Structure 1
Amino acid sequence: MLNDTSIAGSARASNTSLYTICLFASLIGFGQNALLVSLPTLVATTDITIASWSVLIAIGTVLFIPTAPYWGKRSDRRGPKSIVLTALLGLSLCFSGMAAILYALDKALLTTTAALVLLAMLRIVYGVTVSGLVPACQHWAILTVGEQHRLSAITSISASLSMGRVLSPVLAVALIKLDPLFAITVVGFAALGLFVVCLMTPALTPKPMAHTVLDKPITMTIPRYLIIALLLCSALGVLHYSLTPLLSAVSSLSAESLSDWVGYLLTLSAIVTLATQIGVVKKKKLSLEQMLFWGGLLLMIGYSLFLFANITAYLIGISILSVGNAILTPAYTTKAMSKQSGHQGQISGLLATSHTLGFALSALFVAASTSLFINPLWFSVLFAVALFTTITSMSFQRGLETRN
């Protein structure tokens, strides 16, 4: 009886820690969308153009590429808590500092040039520190529930990111109506509050492993999963960059309603993603191989529907895409992490780098589509086909190995 009580208490403590870790991860999704929702108002109320804001955002995003693997590797060696603390502090500094700089600009205490320089410095801090948040949270979640529940841990972090993206547009719009700087200010103070919570959260350190020399670099043990991550985000990035032009092609929509429909589609995507993560992935309705197969197939179908200039096709397409993304991402992440159990933080960081590279490359393909006068979603369909081909080739190879 005493032993059963002890086990139940330990399980409750693990669940509490997991929920807390998910709360840390959700803030990055909330912060990203809050900034995007705030952009039109910030452009209208400051002398900073949308082009300048795009460069500022890109500065932080590009820095994820070299720094995410570094934080993942550090998490494997010293544990994830210190990385999460660093990320939350960087997030708080970036958003609080951004609000302070824009307030000073509004009161003519800073010139536009000085404000841009300071904002660029904050985005550098953001890119260097916050890049470790998701890899470290994934690693911490796995340490909390155990490697045998790796898929559940990864799905919990993915669901928390989706939850942040679902809640942020509505809350950000409400806060912006009170003051243009309220949304980003709230993100800054929320990060500081979660930093304090993280200080009080029990740390978990990976088991020390004997020093071994790997036969080949980690990137060579998971190349196909890195390719899948790259193709997934390249296709998704093209869609995100192209939403406004695609909606403009729908004759039934007025120019005034375009921004609203972008918000509707993104919110629908986040809701469907979250529902799939909770209702399908968390409940283990499909095996990892089935998740990979159906995820890839649904991506091809979903992106194909965006080739039709019809709002109904777009609504159905983004719903199908969201289901595909929701089951595909935790599947390939889990499969990749199972390749090297002692390097899960580093693998998570490498996957994050592939995601960032995918989004960066998508901007180039959108620009190319403009020069070629073609629908940019043809590139998304091409990426989805390449992704599905990669998945099926992996399944075919596994079948041959099993037969032999």
Structure 2
Amino acid sequence: MNKAGRPDVLRKITEDRTDMLKTRDDMNLPRGIFVLIFIVSMVMAIGNTGLISVMPAIGRAIGMSDHLVAAIFSLSALLWAISAPHWARVSDVRGRKPMMMLGLGGFVFSMLGCALVVWAGLQALLAPVVVFVTFLLIRGIFGILGSATASSSQAYVADRTSAKERTSALSALAGALGMGTIIGPALSPLLVFGFLGLAGPMTIFALGAGVVLLMVMLIIPRDIPPAKLYPDKFANAHTAAARKERGFGIWLDRDIGPWLIFGFLSCCVQAINVYTLGFVVMDVVALPATEAQRYIGMAMAAGAGAGLFGQWVLIPWLKMSPRALIWSGGLLALAGNLLTVFAHDIWMLSLGYVVLTLGFSFCRPGFTAGASLAARPDQQGIVAGMVSSLSGGSIVITPVIGVLLYEMATPSPFILNCVVMGGLMIFAWKNASLWRPELSRTATSIVS
């Protein structure tokens, strides 16, 4: 690493963070508000993972091929990846709360629309190809709007936590995703009932999100947009250099970029694991789609439980730094995929999923907190947007690749995952920006 200019860079980071703490008199996050933001993230995770867990059964019941089921989320994922940075920039100007509400509204609309389409397909009112296209388009609305909630929620927490507290706060918020991935797959089989059938889970998830949207409207106070808090830093926001710095050019930042690269590739690996799990379980247990659903839910819930244990228990107990989180998490994800390669029954398959999910539960708060700590106060919004876009970008094509590889040779997607995670371990070990201790010490000294 070129060390020239490093003291000046660190001095600038220190000055920016000091200015932020002097400017922000409201730099605190009441527990009740954090709990509600946690619920917002959890409800969306419940709906999304619940839908993922039930889609293999829906696809086979309607008559869609497995790779089309995997591809059904591709458009929304692409739109999510594109729109997340945009909504982050809008939240810088209009505030975080309106963007949370916008994303929740998109979630409610898309879930209800998808439930109606699935119900019509199951009743043979729509042909499978019509179900596929219509579902794809309605889900795309969630891709455009849903990312507004994810990026603004993270930015809201980052705005109100000191550098010392941010890793634990963002890890706790990431626990909402873990909790959601437990509840969603566990609830989905119970919500397949009556005339709604497999459309039941989407209907109930939409109604629950509607209640949470009302709570956000009434309880969370309207925040002051960063553009008003730091007018000097946003004064030249429309110049070409500023747009590049607050856009995709942030990937080229030598301190922030490596965290985003690690995050994107690790999310791609996790996407292959998540989106192939349902098909692998159905083939391992050799049961009809509806009967295999409880085993899919069991495996997903076990993995999510391990992830939640990692984020809520192990990370606070071990007090791990961002760089330690990505290193240890990457090794666990690699080990879990190795187990999956050799899995021959539901128990070994579930064990592999538990281990790899525990690993990813370390990786996500690791690269999220690392990118946030490497950013200036006026960059928190765009960093949150980019981190949010990783979730969408990672599932644009990787689930389809994973399922196609699985259809060709059962262990091939997990062998690919092992290769990628091995490469990321080398990248994390060699890249000095991920392992340098100066930024953590500087951040601690500012708030102490």
TM exceeding 0.5: yes
Map residues 47-58 of structure 1 onto 2, 5 A cutoff: 53-58=69-74
Asked if the contact 1:298/1:323 (under 8 Å) is kept, the reply is: yes
Match of 2:394 in 1: 358
Is 1:186 matched with 2:204?
yes
C-alpha spacing 1:189/1:350, structure 2 compared with 1 (3 Å): same
Instruction: Specify every segment of 5 or more residues in structure 2 that has no aligned partner in the other structure, as ranges.
Output: 1-25, 440-448
The one of 331, 350, 365 aligned to 1:330: 365
Q: CA deviation at 1:19?
A: 0.3
Which is further off, 209-218 or 381-390? 209-218
1:304-358 per-position Cα deviation (integer Å, ceiling 9, x unaligned) = 2222234454343323222221122111111111222312221122223333333
Contact map agreement 1:22 1:157 (CA 8 A) in 2: yes
Using the aligned pairs only, state the percent identity: 19
Q: Report matched runs for 1:246-285 at 5 Å.
A: 253-255=285-287, 259-283=293-317, 285=319
Q: Is the 8 A contact 1:234 1:383 kept in 2?
A: no
Q: Matches of 2:341 and 2:115 in 1, distance apart?
A: 40
The residue aligned with 1:299 is: 333
- The question of whether the paired residues in 1 share the 8 Å contact of 2:37 and 2:153 is answered with yes
CA–CA distance in structure 1, aligned partners of residues 126 and 337 of structure 2: 45
Which residue is 1:125 aligned to?
Answer: 141
After TM superposition, the structure 1 = structure 2 runs for residues 21-100 of structure 1, keeping only pairs within 5 Å, are: 21-39=37-55, 42-43=58-59, 53-100=69-116
Q: Please state whether the residue corresponding to 1:306 is helix, strand or coil.
A: helix
State the partner residue of 1:236.
270
* Aligned-partner SS, 1:137: helix
Identify the residue that residue 385 of structure 1 maps to in structure 2: 422
Aligned residues: 391
Correspondence 1:158 to 2:192: no
Q: CA RMSD in A?
A: 3.4
Aligned counterpart, 1:286: 320
Distance 1:15 1:324, change over 3 A: same
The amino acid across from 1:329 in the alignment is R
**Does 73-82 or 117-126 show the bigger shift?**
117-126
| Structure 1 residue identity aligned to 2:391 | H
Output the CA distance in 2 between the equivalents of 1:93 and 1:367: 31
- Which of 214, 219, 243 does residue 251 from structure 2 map onto? 219
Query: Do 1:135 and 1:345's aligned partners in 2 also have CA atoms closer than 8 Å?
Result: yes
**Alpha carbons of structure 1 residues 77 and 366: separation in structure 2 relative to 1, 3 Å:** same
Helix, strand or coil: the match of 1:376? helix
- What is the CA-CA distance between 1:47 and the residue it aligns to? 7.2
Equivalent residue runs for 1:365-376 within 5 Å: 367=404, 375-376=412-413
State the AA in 2 paired with 1:285.
Answer: K
Between the aligned partners of 1:362 and 1:52, the Cα distance in structure 2 is: 10
2: distance between equivalents of 1:63 and 1:24? 21
- With over 3 angstroms needed to count, the CA separation of the structure-2 counterparts of 1:400 and 1:319, relative to structure 1, is closer
What is the 5 A alignment of 1:173-212?
A: 173-178=189-194, 179-180=196-197, 181-200=199-218, 201-205=220-224, 206=226, 207-210=229-232, 211=235
- What is the CA-CA distance between 1:61 and the residue it aligns to? 1.9
Please list the CA deviations of residues 47-100 of structure 1 after superposition, one character each: whole Å capped at 9, or x if unmatched: 777666544432222211211111122223322111111111111111123334
In structure 2, what is the equivalent of residue 317 of structure 1?
A: 352
Q: Normalising to structure 1: TM-score of the pair?
A: 0.83
Q: Distance in 2 between matches of 1:388 and 1:254?
A: 36
CA drift of 1:292 comes to 2.4
**Segment of structure 1 superposing worse, 372-381 or 29-38:** 372-381
C-alpha contact 1:249 1:309 (8 A) present in aligned 2: no
**TM-score normalised to the size of structure 2?**
0.76
SS at match of 2:379: helix
29-38 or 215-224, larger mean C-alpha shift: 215-224
Which shows bigger deviation, 378-387 or 27-36? 27-36
Any idea what the Cα deviations from partners look like across 1:125-171, whole Å, max 9, x if unmatched? 11110122211111112234445422122112211111111112222
Which one is further off, 267-276 or 93-102?
A: 93-102
Aligned-partner Cα distance in 2 for 1:79–1:280: 33
What is the distance in 2 between the residues matched to 1:47 and 1:258?
17
Conserved in 1, the CA contact under 8 Å of 2:341 and 2:411?
Answer: no
Q: Tell me if structure 2 keeps the 8 A contact 1:14–1:144.
A: no
User: Offset at 1:273?
Assistant: 0.5
The alignment partner of 1:202 has SS state of: coil
Measured in 1, the distance between the counterparts of 2:408 and 2:398 equals: 16
116, 138, 141: which one pairs with 2:154? 138
1:135, 1:348 within 8 Å by CA — same for their partners in 2?
A: yes
Quote the Cα distance in structure 1 between the aligned partners of 2:181 and 2:421: 23
Matching residue of 2:32: 16
| Equivalent position of 1:3 in the other structure | none
- Paired with 1:281 and 1:208, the residues of 2 have a C-alpha distance of 33
1:295 and 1:60, CA in 2 relative to 1: closer, same or farther beyond 3 A?
same
Q: Please, which moves more after superposition, 104-113 or 178-187? A: 104-113
Give how far 1:383 is off.
0.8
SS in 1 for 2:192: helix
Separation in 2, partners of 1:218, 1:364: 28
Distance 1:223 1:104, change over 3 A: same
Letter in 2 for 1:345: G
Aligned partners of 2:257 and 2:27: how far apart in 1? 36
Amino acid at match of 1:346: I
